[in-house]
Structure 1
Amino acid sequence: MKIIYKEGTRKTLAESTGEVRSAVATALELVEGKHGFRTPFEIWRNCKLVITIGHNIYTTFIEIRPPAMAYIKRRSNWHNRYAYYAAGTFRGNNDNAEVELI
């Protein structure tokens, strides 16, 4: 899975709190060797891990996003647009159910 770091309120992880660094490290471990996610309704492949770095855990966002063309091809047939990291797991953005990393 391709990993993309974006600047939020901080430019680097070193400027963030230990809680943020720990969450990012755990998320990176979870997606190692994976390329997408599966929900009860759909399967998304060739995804990217997008990490927006904030100064604390509340301003840091860790998301798995499918490629932009996947939205266009599926049109209205998708249910969860991305998966977000919360409390040690990734969850679907719409139904809040835990997703399976594939």
Structure 2
Amino acid sequence: MQVIFEHIARLKGTDVEVRQAVNDALQLTIGKTGFRTETEIWRGCELVVTLGHDLRTTTIRIRPPDNALWKRRCNWCNAYAYYAHGIFLGNVSNTKVELI
């Protein structure tokens, strides 16, 4: 999975919790290309990390390619998966996603 870092703050300027969360998310996505929920499957995704100064201002999410969002089915509701408390969750359903 391609990793994209968007910096609000430098990694040195972040606290230990942020660095640990980013490291855990990177470890979870090694060798993975997408995610699966109960009703949908997204492949060819990117891991997007927006670094902030603390966990409140840092976001870690897996998003599908832009062209895939145009072709989505009407029953698909999650546009990305976000990282929280050691797992990835669907942005609308708030259920745990399976990394594939």
TM-score w.r.t. length of structure 1: 0.94
1:78, distance to aligned residue in structure 2 (A): 2.1
Q: Aligned letter for 1:49?
A: L
Q: Distance in 2 between matches of 1:56 and 1:87?
A: 14
Gaps of 5+ in 2: none
The answer for the alignment partner of 1:28 in structure 2 is 26
* % identical equivalent positions: 55
Cα distance in 1 for partners of 2:84, 2:25 equals 9
Decide which moves more: 48-57 or 74-83.
Answer: 74-83
1:65 matches 2:63? yes
Match of 1:81 among 74, 79, 82: 79
- 1:29-66 Cα offsets, whole Å, 9 max, x none, are 00000000000010000000000000001100000000
Q: Deviations over 1:53-96 (max 9, x none)?
A: 00001100000000000011125342100000000000000010
2:44 counterpart SS class: coil
d(CA) in 2 for partners of 1:42, 1:77: 8
RMSD between aligned residues: 0.9
Q: Which runs of 4+ in 1 moved over 3 A?
A: none
TM-score (norm 2): 0.96
